[in-house]
Amino acid sequence: MDQSIETGPAADGDITRLLRQWSDGRDDAFRELLPLAYNRLRRIATTRMRCERPDHTLQPTALVGELYLRLAGAKLGNWEDREHFYAFCARAMRWILTDHARARASGKRGVELLLPLTEDIRWLGERAEDTFDLDRALSRLEEVDSRKTRIIELRVYLGCTADETARILNLSKATVDRDMRLACAWLCRELRPGE
Protein backbone atom coordinates (compact mmCIF):
# COMPACT_ATOMS: atom_id res chain seq x y z
CA MET A 1 0.00 0.00 0.00
CA ASP A 2 1.61 3.22 -1.09
CA GLN A 3 -0.11 5.45 1.42
CA SER A 4 -0.34 5.23 5.16
CA ILE A 5 -3.58 4.73 6.99
CA GLU A 6 -2.58 7.64 9.19
CA THR A 7 -3.87 10.95 7.89
CA GLY A 8 -2.22 13.33 10.30
CA PRO A 9 -3.11 14.25 13.88
CA ALA A 10 -5.77 16.86 13.03
CA ALA A 11 -7.64 14.63 10.56
CA ASP A 12 -7.29 11.60 12.85
CA GLY A 13 -8.83 13.57 15.70
CA ASP A 14 -11.63 14.82 13.46
CA ILE A 15 -12.41 11.29 12.27
CA THR A 16 -12.49 9.95 15.82
CA ARG A 17 -14.62 12.90 17.01
CA LEU A 18 -17.08 12.51 14.12
CA LEU A 19 -17.33 8.75 14.62
CA ARG A 20 -18.22 9.26 18.27
CA GLN A 21 -20.81 11.89 17.36
CA TRP A 22 -22.24 9.56 14.75
CA SER A 23 -22.44 6.82 17.39
CA ASP A 24 -24.35 9.26 19.57
CA GLY A 25 -26.98 9.57 16.84
CA ARG A 26 -25.84 12.69 14.98
CA ASP A 27 -26.45 11.88 11.31
CA ASP A 28 -24.80 15.13 10.25
CA ALA A 29 -21.53 13.77 11.70
CA PHE A 30 -21.64 10.97 9.10
CA ARG A 31 -22.02 13.58 6.34
CA GLU A 32 -19.00 15.47 7.72
CA LEU A 33 -17.01 12.24 7.94
CA LEU A 34 -17.48 11.32 4.28
CA PRO A 35 -15.17 13.99 2.80
CA LEU A 36 -12.45 13.19 5.36
CA ALA A 37 -12.53 9.46 4.63
CA TYR A 38 -13.37 9.45 0.90
CA ASN A 39 -9.93 10.01 -0.64
CA ARG A 40 -8.27 7.44 1.61
CA LEU A 41 -10.97 4.83 1.00
CA ARG A 42 -10.93 5.55 -2.76
CA ARG A 43 -7.15 4.98 -2.88
CA ILE A 44 -7.56 1.77 -0.88
CA ALA A 45 -10.32 0.58 -3.24
CA THR A 46 -8.16 1.43 -6.27
CA THR A 47 -5.28 -0.58 -4.82
CA ARG A 48 -7.59 -3.53 -4.10
CA MET A 49 -9.17 -3.44 -7.55
CA ARG A 50 -5.74 -3.60 -9.25
CA CYS A 51 -5.53 -7.14 -7.84
CA GLU A 52 -8.86 -8.16 -9.34
CA ARG A 53 -9.28 -9.59 -12.82
CA PRO A 54 -8.93 -6.95 -15.58
CA ASP A 55 -12.57 -7.14 -16.72
CA HIS A 56 -14.01 -6.75 -13.21
CA THR A 57 -17.36 -4.98 -13.39
CA LEU A 58 -17.01 -3.34 -9.98
CA GLN A 59 -14.93 -0.15 -10.14
CA PRO A 60 -13.17 1.54 -7.17
CA THR A 61 -15.70 4.37 -7.03
CA ALA A 62 -18.54 1.85 -6.98
CA LEU A 63 -16.78 -0.15 -4.26
CA VAL A 64 -16.49 2.96 -2.09
CA GLY A 65 -20.10 3.87 -2.91
CA GLU A 66 -21.27 0.43 -1.82
CA LEU A 67 -19.12 0.76 1.30
CA TYR A 68 -20.82 4.08 2.11
CA LEU A 69 -24.24 2.48 1.70
CA ARG A 70 -23.26 -0.22 4.15
CA LEU A 71 -21.79 2.34 6.54
CA ALA A 72 -24.94 4.47 6.37
CA GLY A 73 -27.00 1.38 7.20
CA ALA A 74 -24.68 0.23 9.99
CA LYS A 75 -26.39 0.24 13.34
CA LEU A 76 -23.36 -0.23 15.51
CA GLY A 77 -23.76 0.69 19.14
CA ASN A 78 -20.45 2.49 19.30
CA TRP A 79 -17.71 3.54 16.92
CA GLU A 80 -14.74 3.47 19.27
CA ASP A 81 -12.22 5.32 17.07
CA ARG A 82 -10.81 5.51 13.55
CA GLU A 83 -9.11 2.11 13.98
CA HIS A 84 -12.51 0.54 14.65
CA PHE A 85 -13.84 2.41 11.59
CA TYR A 86 -11.08 1.14 9.28
CA ALA A 87 -11.44 -2.40 10.64
CA PHE A 88 -15.17 -2.26 9.88
CA CYS A 89 -14.37 -0.92 6.38
CA ALA A 90 -12.07 -3.90 5.80
CA ARG A 91 -14.80 -6.30 6.83
CA ALA A 92 -17.37 -4.48 4.69
CA MET A 93 -15.05 -4.61 1.64
CA ARG A 94 -14.71 -8.35 2.23
CA TRP A 95 -18.48 -8.74 2.17
CA ILE A 96 -18.90 -6.50 -0.87
CA LEU A 97 -16.27 -8.30 -2.95
CA THR A 98 -17.59 -11.71 -1.90
CA ASP A 99 -21.21 -10.73 -2.64
CA HIS A 100 -20.18 -9.31 -6.00
CA ALA A 101 -18.26 -12.47 -6.91
CA ARG A 102 -21.17 -14.65 -5.78
CA ALA A 103 -23.66 -12.66 -7.89
CA ARG A 104 -21.40 -12.80 -10.93
CA ALA A 105 -20.77 -16.53 -10.51
CA SER A 106 -24.49 -17.29 -10.19
CA GLY A 107 -25.14 -15.58 -13.52
CA LYS A 108 -22.22 -17.08 -15.41
CA ARG A 109 -20.68 -20.54 -15.18
CA GLY A 110 -16.94 -20.93 -15.33
CA VAL A 111 -16.20 -17.38 -14.24
CA GLU A 112 -12.62 -16.89 -13.13
CA LEU A 113 -12.64 -14.98 -9.86
CA LEU A 114 -9.48 -13.51 -8.40
CA LEU A 115 -9.17 -12.19 -4.88
CA PRO A 116 -7.25 -9.16 -3.77
CA LEU A 117 -3.97 -10.95 -3.15
CA THR A 118 -1.33 -10.36 -0.56
CA GLU A 119 2.26 -11.49 -0.73
CA ASP A 120 1.66 -13.36 2.53
CA ILE A 121 -0.80 -15.74 0.85
CA ARG A 122 0.51 -16.06 -2.70
CA TRP A 123 -1.62 -19.09 -3.54
CA LEU A 124 -4.85 -17.34 -2.61
CA GLY A 125 -6.84 -16.63 -5.74
CA GLU A 126 -5.50 -19.52 -7.83
CA ARG A 127 -8.92 -21.17 -7.87
CA ALA A 128 -12.28 -19.65 -8.75
CA GLU A 129 -13.83 -20.96 -5.54
CA ASP A 130 -11.22 -19.20 -3.35
CA THR A 131 -13.46 -16.12 -3.02
CA PHE A 132 -16.24 -18.07 -1.38
CA ASP A 133 -13.98 -20.47 0.48
CA LEU A 134 -11.99 -17.60 2.03
CA ASP A 135 -15.19 -15.95 3.24
CA ARG A 136 -16.38 -19.21 4.83
CA ALA A 137 -12.94 -19.88 6.32
CA LEU A 138 -12.75 -16.39 7.83
CA SER A 139 -16.17 -16.93 9.41
CA ARG A 140 -14.83 -20.13 11.01
CA LEU A 141 -11.61 -18.40 12.07
CA GLU A 142 -13.72 -15.63 13.66
CA GLU A 143 -15.18 -18.23 16.02
CA VAL A 144 -11.70 -19.38 17.03
CA ASP A 145 -9.65 -16.18 16.95
CA SER A 146 -11.24 -12.88 15.97
CA ARG A 147 -7.93 -10.98 16.12
CA LYS A 148 -6.40 -13.14 13.40
CA THR A 149 -9.54 -12.60 11.31
CA ARG A 150 -9.18 -8.81 11.68
CA ILE A 151 -5.52 -9.07 10.64
CA ILE A 152 -6.38 -11.07 7.50
CA GLU A 153 -9.18 -8.64 6.62
CA LEU A 154 -6.92 -5.61 6.99
CA ARG A 155 -4.03 -7.19 5.10
CA VAL A 156 -6.05 -8.80 2.27
CA TYR A 157 -9.07 -6.53 1.83
CA LEU A 158 -7.62 -3.14 2.74
CA GLY A 159 -4.08 -3.93 1.63
CA CYS A 160 -2.56 -2.67 4.88
CA THR A 161 1.07 -3.32 5.66
CA ALA A 162 2.03 -5.10 8.88
CA ASP A 163 2.94 -1.73 10.44
CA GLU A 164 -0.41 -0.18 9.46
CA THR A 165 -2.28 -3.23 10.74
CA ALA A 166 -0.40 -3.00 14.04
CA ARG A 167 -1.36 0.68 14.42
CA ILE A 168 -5.01 0.08 13.54
CA LEU A 169 -5.36 -2.84 15.96
CA ASN A 170 -3.10 -1.32 18.61
CA LEU A 171 -0.73 -4.29 18.53
CA SER A 172 3.00 -4.67 18.09
CA LYS A 173 4.27 -5.43 14.59
CA ALA A 174 5.81 -8.64 15.96
CA THR A 175 2.35 -9.76 17.13
CA VAL A 176 0.81 -8.93 13.75
CA ASP A 177 3.58 -10.81 11.93
CA ARG A 178 3.22 -13.86 14.19
CA ASP A 179 -0.59 -13.86 13.95
CA MET A 180 -0.42 -13.43 10.18
CA ARG A 181 1.87 -16.47 9.85
CA LEU A 182 -0.43 -18.54 12.06
CA ALA A 183 -3.56 -17.34 10.24
CA CYS A 184 -1.98 -18.14 6.86
CA ALA A 185 -1.09 -21.63 8.04
CA TRP A 186 -4.62 -22.08 9.38
CA LEU A 187 -6.11 -20.85 6.08
CA CYS A 188 -3.84 -23.15 4.09
CA ARG A 189 -4.99 -26.12 6.17
CA GLU A 190 -8.64 -25.06 5.77
CA LEU A 191 -8.54 -24.16 2.08
CA ARG A 192 -5.94 -26.64 0.82
CA PRO A 193 -6.31 -29.77 2.98
CA GLY A 194 -3.92 -32.48 2.01
CA GLU A 195 -1.68 -30.21 -0.07
CA distances from residue 135 to 92, 94, 108, 183 in whole angstroms, order as listed: 12, 8, 20, 14
34: pLDDT confidence band, cut at 50, 70 and 90? confident
Q: How far from the centroid of its chain's Cα atoms is residue 186's Cα?
A: 19
Instruction: Look at 183 and 155; give whichever has higher pLDDT.
Output: 183
Q: Is residue 120 predicted with pLDDT exceeding 80?
A: no
Q: Is residue 164 predicted with pLDDT exceeding 90?
A: no
Q: Is residue 6 predicted with pLDDT exceeding 50?
A: no
Whole-structure pTM value: 0.57
Is the separation of the CB atoms in 187 and 121 below 8 Å?
A: yes
What per-residue confidence (pLDDT) applies to 161?
83
Q: Exposure pattern of 101-130 as b/e (b: 16+ CB <10 Å)?
A: beeebeeeeeeebbbbbbebbeebbeeeeb
